């Protein structure tokens, strides 16, 4: 690795940090724009004006917004996420267990969708133009074109209503045996896998097709290499960078998908927590959840960009 690549990667990381700051700033201000005074919401309608003023003072609500933002940021660095308005619990305690649940869901989905999507994407690219390729492409376009909740609804209809294999709702607390566990995770994971794989298949297929149309692959074909050898030995190693990039980029769609999937299946993760927080207008909780999601998303697209830089042989 030369200093050129290192520079580009460092630059990309710096951009990621700046972006994160802008995002935090945006989240903080969007949530402080919420109508209604926080102190009067907390104290209820019967509160005296003196009590409201006292609480405003105690919560530093009279300070300029930029000062409150800096204080919030400092709290974050100390691991202090604030206190939920709705039930007076520390946000960190509310998020803790649910974060693990969401990561489990995301992890299992990744383990399933990556091999599935890569196999389908690469084989579709190899058999470009065949009936198989067209079926895979059309299915992928179909899944991308419909909302996530529709994929979820169809999955419930198929597996829970017609086939009666799985329950429609999740409840992690009731899992006692391995079969219970499989039955609980099945519906959310199936839905998410569909959504993520569709993106990944399209991107992988495009990356491999691009490599297959390069002169050196044509050369391999002309010298009489078999189709399998041409793809595995000549095309794939060169398509690896774009493919890994496509995987990281597709996984960032998990962020949007998980919000819908956790809500529809009543899965106790942070996305469900956040949707509920938006409904009850619970500021600190919304801020922290939004921050976690943005962090995850930013991490994935930054990784994707860095891989794209590193895999470009012209920069090496």
What is the smallest separation between the CB atom of 105 and other proteins, expressed in angstroms?
16
Q: Which helix (H) or strand (E) holds 257?
A: helix 254-264
**What is the per-residue DSSP string for 43-101?**
H-TT--HHHHHHHHHHTTTTS-HHHHHHHHHHHHHTT---B-TTT--BHHHHHHHHHHH
**Nearer to other proteins (CB atom), residue 157 or residue 219:** 157
Its sign, for the CA torsion 215, 216, 219, 220, is negative
**Nearer to other proteins (CB atom), residue 197 or residue 220:** 197
| Site residues (vs other proteins, CB under 8 A) | 15, 18-19, 22-23, 26-27, 30-31, 33-35, 141-142, 144-150, 153-154, 156-157, 160-162, 168, 252, 255-256, 259-260, 263-264, 274-275, 278-279, 281, 286, 290, 293-294, 297-298, 301
The answer to whether 5 and 315 are in contact (CB under 8 A) is yes
**Nearer to other proteins (CB atom), residue 220 or residue 267:** 267
What is the smallest separation between the CB atom of 297 and other proteins, expressed in angstroms?
5
What is the smallest separation between the CB atom of 291 and other proteins, expressed in angstroms?
10
Burial class (CB in 10 A: 0-12, 13-18, 19+), 307: buried
Instruction: Measure CA 201 to chain center.
Output: 17
**Nearer to other proteins (CB atom), residue 75 or residue 142:** 142
What is the smallest separation between the CB atom of 159 and other proteins, expressed in angstroms?
12
**Nearer to other proteins (CB atom), residue 148 or residue 220:** 148
Tokens of 41: 């919401």
């Amino acid at each position: 690795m030369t200093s050129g690549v290192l520079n580009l990667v460092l630059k990309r990381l710096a951009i990621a940090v700046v972006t994160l700051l802008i995002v935090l700033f945006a989240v903080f201000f969007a949530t402080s724009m919420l109508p209604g005074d926080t102190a009067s919401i907390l104290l209820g309608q019967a509160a005296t004006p003196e009590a409201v003023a006292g609480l405003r003072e105690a919560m530093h609500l009279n300070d300029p917004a930029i000062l409150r933002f800096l204080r919030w940021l400092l709290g974050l660095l100390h691991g202090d996420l604030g206190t939920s308005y709705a039930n007076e619990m520390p946000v960190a305690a509310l998020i803790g267990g649910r974060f693990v649940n969401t990561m489990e869901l995301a992890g299992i989905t990744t383990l399933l969708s990556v091999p599935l999507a890569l196999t389908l994407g690469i084989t579709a690219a190899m058999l470009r133009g065949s009936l198989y390729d067209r079926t895979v492409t059309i299915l992928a376009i179909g899944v991308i074109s419909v909302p996530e909740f529709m994929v979820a609804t169809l999955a419930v209809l198929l597996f829970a209503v017609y086939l009666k294999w799985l329950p429609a709702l999740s409840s992690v607390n009731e899992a006692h045996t391995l079969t219970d566990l499989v039955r609980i995770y099945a519906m959310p994971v199936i839905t998410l896998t569909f959504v993520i794989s569709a993106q990944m298949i399209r991107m992988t297929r495009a990356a491999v097709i691009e490599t297959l149309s390069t002169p050196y692959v044509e050369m391999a074909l002309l010298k009489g290499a078999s189709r399998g050898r041409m793809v595995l030995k000549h095309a794939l190693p060169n398509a690896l960078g774009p493919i890994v990039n496509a995987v990281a980029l597709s996984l960032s769609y998990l962020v949007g998908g998980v919000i819908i999937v956790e809500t529809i299946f009543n899965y106790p993760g942070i996305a469900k927590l956040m949707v509920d927080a938006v409904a009850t207008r619970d500021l600190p909780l919304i801020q922290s959840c939004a921050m976690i999601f943005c962090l995850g998303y930013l991490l994935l697209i930054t990784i994707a960009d860095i891989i794209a830089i590193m895999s470009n042989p012209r920069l090496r």
